[in-house]
């Protein structure tokens, strides 16, 4: 009997990654989309088109799982609120199922990601784990007592909206907070820190690129840092320190076995994570020896896609 196959979709704030996934978590086809400024109808159309593209190569798929950057009401399959996409109060599960003609299962994107990492990846065997997905913003996922934790209303894990800086910048999107974790640590925050350094130091790498009208984003900073650029490494060290400050608060509050870092910004590797580890060691409460390890996601940027596929393979059970 051929293995069961489903489609997993990870829809982030500016990108979508999807694929046909079998029971062994082997991805047979992939699809990638990017967007900026799409309205609700356009955003949902992108989701449908991505599924139909990969489904054309695998008409035998049983179901579709979505990881979306939103607060999700699991009982109704409702996207309640999203800080990065225009999908507030969307009956996501039923709408997508109707449009696709397949069973659809949906969860928050980083809750889906930690499902994959807990079952098969960097958090495997951990009774308690925290995941931070560093992308456009910060997604959070929790495993408590060996299970993905969704909270009383299904909204747990919005770790990117912890206040880190009381007098910090307004959080982008629809978040009413300011100084949120994701304003100082995320792919967007890496780009912002590089632009700030460029304005303060016109003769630096980033100052010259700004003067030339170049757009500076987190991916460019990471690329330059890996090439040995000292200003880029300085930016990643600063953001890594901030990451460690936030993680220290999570460790003191939740006492996890492991902290998993995923999302696109994890491409910075130890240039970002080593400063976070050093800061955590300085700031975590002392009892119990060394703080928990900070490790990159085993599945990298595909954790949420694979977790969404597991939702579909499970039939939505959690």
Same structural domain, 131 and 167: yes
Same structural domain, 45 and 161: no
Q: How far apart (Å, rounded) are the C-alpha atoms in residues 107 and 74? A: 7
Asked whether the CA dihedral 175, 179, 182, 188 is positive or negative, the reply is positive
Residue 229 forms part of a structural domain: yes
Residue 160 forms part of a structural domain: yes
- DSSP conformational letter for 118: H
Same structural domain, 162 and 234: yes
Same structural domain, 181 and 48: no
pLDDT of residue 317: 46
- The gap between the terminal CA atoms of the chain, to the nearest Å, is 26
pLDDT of residue 302: 95
Residue 262 forms part of a structural domain: yes
Residue 120 forms part of a structural domain: no
Tokens read off for 37 = 């400024």
Locate the DSSP E strands across the chain: 5-11, 15-22, 27-34, 64-68, 71-73, 78-81, 104-108, 129-134, 138-144, 147-148, 258-262, 294-296
Residue 122 forms part of a structural domain: no
What is the bridge-based pairing of β-strands 15-22 and 5-11?
A: antiparallel
Tokens read off for 277 = 């580890």
Same structural domain, 160 and 208: yes
Burial class from Cβ neighbours inside 10 Å (0-12, 13-18, 19+) for residue 34 reads: exposed
pLDDT of residue 35: 76
Same structural domain, 60 and 209: no
Residue 140 forms part of a structural domain: yes
Residue 22 forms part of a structural domain: yes
Same structural domain, 48 and 168: no
pLDDT of residue 215: 92
Residue 67 CA to its chain's centroid (Å): 10
Question: Could you tell me the residue range of the domain that residue 136 belongs to?
Answer: 127-297
Same structural domain, 30 and 153: no
Q: How far apart (Å, rounded) are the C-alpha atoms in residues 288 and 295? A: 19
List per-residue pLDDT tens for the chain, 318 residues long: 778 999 999 998 888 999 999 999 999 999 999 877 789 999 999 999 999 999 999 999 999 999 999 999 988 999 999 988 999 999 999 999 999 999 999 999 999 999 999 999 999 999 999 999 998 889 999 999 999 999 998 899 999 999 988 899 999 878 899 999 999 999 899 999 999 999 999 999 999 999 999 999 999 999 999 999 999 999 999 999 999 999 999 999 999 999 999 998 889 999 999 999 999 999 999 876 789 999 999 999 999 999 999 999 998 444
Nearest CA-CA partner of 295 in 280, 307, 277:
277
Same structural domain, 106 and 233: no
Q: Could you tell me the CATH number of the domain that includes residue 157?
A: 3.30.420.40
Neighbours of 56 (CB within 10 A): 9
pLDDT of residue 318: 44
Same structural domain, 172 and 293: yes
Same structural domain, 106 and 144: no
Number of domains in the chain: 2
Same structural domain, 280 and 307: no
């Amino acid at each position: 009997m051929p293995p069961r196959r489903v489609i997993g979709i990870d829809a982030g704030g500016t990108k979508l990654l999807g694929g046909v996934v079998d029971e062994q978590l082997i991805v047979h086809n992939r699809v990638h989309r990017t967007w900026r400024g799409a309205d609700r109808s356009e955003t949902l159309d992108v989701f449908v088109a991505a599924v139909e593209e990969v489904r054309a190569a695998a008409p035998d798929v049983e179901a579709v799982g979505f990881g979306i950057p939103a607060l999700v009401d699991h009982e109704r399959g409702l996207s309640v609120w999203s800080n990065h996409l225009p999908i507030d109060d969307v009956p996501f599960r039923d709408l997508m199922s109707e449009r696709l003609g397949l069973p659809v299962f949906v969860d928050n994107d980083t809750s889906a990601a930690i499902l994959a990492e807990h079952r098969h990846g960097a958090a495997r065997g951990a009774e308690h784990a925290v995941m931070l997905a560093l992308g456009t913003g910060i997604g959070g996922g929790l495993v408590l007592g060996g299970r993905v934790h969704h909270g009383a209303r299904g909204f747990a894990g919005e770790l990117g909206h912890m206040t880190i800086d009381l007098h910090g910048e307004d959080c982008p999107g629809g978040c009413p907070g300011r100084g949120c974790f994701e304003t100082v640590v995320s792919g967007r925050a890496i780009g912002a820190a590089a632009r700030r350094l460029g304005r303060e130091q016109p003769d630096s790498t980033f100052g010259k690129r700004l003067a030339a009208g170049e757009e500076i984003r987190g991916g460019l900073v990471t690329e330059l840092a890996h090439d040995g650029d000292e200003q880029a490494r300085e930016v990643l060290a600063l953001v890594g320190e901030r990451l460690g400050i936030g993680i220290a608060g999570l460790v003191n509050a939740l006492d996890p076995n492991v902290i998993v870092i995923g999302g696109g910004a994890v491409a910075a590797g130890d240039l970002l994570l080593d400063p976070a580890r050093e800061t955590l060691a300085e700031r975590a409460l002392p009892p119990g020896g060394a703080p928990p390890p900070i490790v990159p996601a085993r599945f990298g940027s595909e954790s949420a896609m694979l977790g969404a596929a597991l939702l579909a393979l499970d039939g939505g059970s959690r």
